[in-house]
Amino acid sequence: MAAVSGLPRYLKRPAAAPVALLLIALTVARAAASAEVMPLARFEVPAPTAAELDPLMTRILEALRTGERLSPDDAEDDEAALRRLRQQATDVLATEGYFTPHLAVAADPQKQARYRIAVEAGPRTSVERVDLVLQGAIETNPERLAELRQSWELSAGRPFRDKDWSNAKSRLLARVVERDFPAARMVESHAQVDPRSASAVLGVTIDSGPQFSFGPLRITGLRRYDQALVQRFNEIQIGEPYSASRLQDLQRRLQACGYFSSVVADIDLDPDTAQRAPIQIQLTEAKTQSVALGLGYSSNVGPRAEANYRQALIFGAPYTWQSGVGFDTTRSVGYTDLYFPPHPNGSVDSLGLLAEHTDINEVQTRRWAAGVARSLKRQIGATDYDTRVDLNFQHELRTVTGAILPASTIDVVSSTVTWSRRRVDQVTDPTRGDLLTLSGTAGLHTALLSNLANATLWRGYVRYVRYIPLSSAYQWIVRGEAGYLVADTLDQVPSEFLFRAGGVGSIRGFSYLSLGQQVGSATLGSRSLVTASNELVRWFGPRWGAAAFYDTGNAGNPVQLAHLARGYGLGARWRTPAGPLALDVAYGDRTIDGQGGRWRVHFSVAIAF
């Protein structure tokens, strides 16, 4: 056999040849894989603009990676792809105000990609002048013209960015449209950019059209209800100047009333009817019957269940009947309410009956009550206001287990006014804002009608909660409440007007409503209440967090309030669509009554379906 020249010595041995060929194949495959994994190019942006431009350049490369697959050995593919990258980078830089960039392509010396594209953005274009033209009926209102010109957001001297330019135009038009001129339109806009001087001259022309005023309602979509029901929610007067917020408020009230599943409110933009422009209301009626069920668990009351039935059309009239029952380890309740159609100002009248049995800390009550109420819900900006006035009669039988006290039979006529303000960023999971509730009650118990001075009761209550964001991860929650009752004797005051404290939402570390007037082993309601809480929450991500808290307060007479109970501990938080769930471990300092301290776990969860 003739010798084979030019090969390594080990390849000349037949036994070694298969191994050598395998090694060569693996080396070639590894090189090919490495070439395939290595990206085509990377952008290199100098430090002054890197923080702003790097994310934009990264998105361009990501779009390339998700596009067509390139061969690492095809120079034509590389050249075409690099041309696209340069063009896309130039276009993106132009949207940020860089119209004279320089992009240099070369092999990547750091081997992070096959090519490096060095980006010199050049000078950034700034706004030299803005020409705003507002024409039409708005020209007769110089104050409004000055206000709109003052509100223009992309003023001279600011960097020119395409996003800012688009936003400034759309927001100016929205400000014109929101009052008096709903038919306003943008006639012309231009941005003249001079790359050499890195300056831009902007021009915007808006035609306001005629000035509009509200006219009558035009209602479509009603089948069960009369148009008079919709008119009850309308506070807009015919001839009132057009306001988008007034129209949105009407739509919100109709949507929230429960009679309709969808509501669209708009104005007829026909210039011929501008002085009395009809308000067009398109409605879809909601189902007249609904059933709601709920299950839950709380360390305060244990497992609980609720059921509710709602009927929105009674004998063909727009009355709403609502009835339900609820059960937990401390309370069973049944109720029925009849709601009348709302008044023109949005207030709602109702009649109600209630029967309830409670057994809390060895105090048992059986009561029934009947009453009338008027409630009003308003929203002004981002703030919700609720006002409720009720007049009730209730009969209660109260007994104390294990105490040498006679059962109390209580008959009281009372009126309560409750006012609350909610100003938070989110209803179910607030991170900033506050909640304030004020309540006042005046009552007369029938057992002492012969002596009116001793038959009256007066009660006041206030509760305040504030959510304070300290940073993106930390939140501080402050809570406080106080109440006081004036009455000749507590034996003739219903339990719902007396004060007790303890448990979730009050003073953690103590069982539910265990703080108050002590009679044997039972906890009765008291004349006064003071509680306060500080809680620091640390969020470790979008859903999980931890909390440290300190609660203090008491319920009782003034002497008892001088010796405040204290509860403190740690907890876990889990954000859900219904709000954060809390699991707390708290130590209740009970040395004030000689019983020593105790650790308790507090938890609550609710599921509606």
State the DSSP string of 105-156: EEE-TTSSSSEEEEEE--PBPEEEEEEEEEESGGGG-HHHHHHHHHH-SS-T
**C-beta neighbour count of 383 within 10 angstroms:** 13
- What b/e readout covers 76-90, taking b as 16+ CB neighbours within 10 angstroms? eebeebbeebbebbb
Beta strands in 286-330 (DSSP E): 289-298, 302-311, 320-327
**Three-state secondary-structure class, residue 91:** helix
For the record, the structure tokens of 35 come out as 């070439």
Residue bearing tokens 């244990």:
302
CA 205 to chain CA mean position, Å = 37
Give the span between the Cα atoms of 56 and 92, in whole angstroms.
7
The reported pLDDT for the residue numbered 520 is 79
- Residue 22 pLDDT greater than 80, yes or no: no
pLDDT band at 64 (very low <50, low <70, confident <90, very high): low
Give the span between the Cα atoms of 520 and 403, in whole angstroms.
6
Give the span between the Cα atoms of 498 and 481, in whole angstroms.
14
The reported pLDDT for the residue numbered 84 is 85
pLDDT band at 410 (very low <50, low <70, confident <90, very high): very high
pLDDT band at 248 (very low <50, low <70, confident <90, very high): very high
Give the span between the Cα atoms of 446 and 394, in whole angstroms.
11
Helix axes 162-177, 75-95, angle to 10 degrees: 40
Residues 6+ apart with CB under 8 A from 555: 499, 500, 501, 515, 516, 517, 525, 526, 528, 529, 530
Beta strands in 312-362 (DSSP E): 320-327, 331-339, 348-360
**pLDDT digit string, tens, across residues 111-160:** 888 888 888 888 989 999 999 999 999 999 999 999 999 999 999 999 99
Residue bearing tokens 């830089």:
93
Mean pLDDT of 284-309: 92
pLDDT band at 14 (very low <50, low <70, confident <90, very high): very low
Mean pLDDT of 21-41: 52
For the record, the structure tokens of 320 come out as 């709403």
For the record, the structure tokens of 293 come out as 């069920």
Give ∠ CA 443-444-447 in degrees, rounded to 5.
Answer: 145
- Full set of structural domains in the chain with CATH: 41-120 (3.10.20.310), 126-207 (3.10.20.310), 214-285 (3.10.20.310), 307-608 (2.40.160.50)
Higher-pLDDT residue of 103 and 186 is 186
- 606 closest CA partner among 328, 333, 337: 328
On whether the CB atoms of residues 475 and 548 are closer than 8 A, the answer is no
CA 447 to each of CA 23, 329, 404, 485, 492: distance values in angstroms, whole numbers, following the listed order: 105, 31, 21, 18, 8
On whether the CB atoms of residues 135 and 208 are closer than 8 A, the answer is yes
The reported pLDDT for the residue numbered 187 is 94
The reported pLDDT for the residue numbered 397 is 95
Average pLDDT, the chain: 86
Q: Would residue 258 be called left, alpha or beta, if left means φ above 0 and alpha means ψ between -120 and 50 degrees?
A: left
The reported pLDDT for the residue numbered 218 is 95
Backbone CA torsion sign across 7, 8, 13, 18: negative
- Residue 8 pLDDT greater than 70, yes or no: no
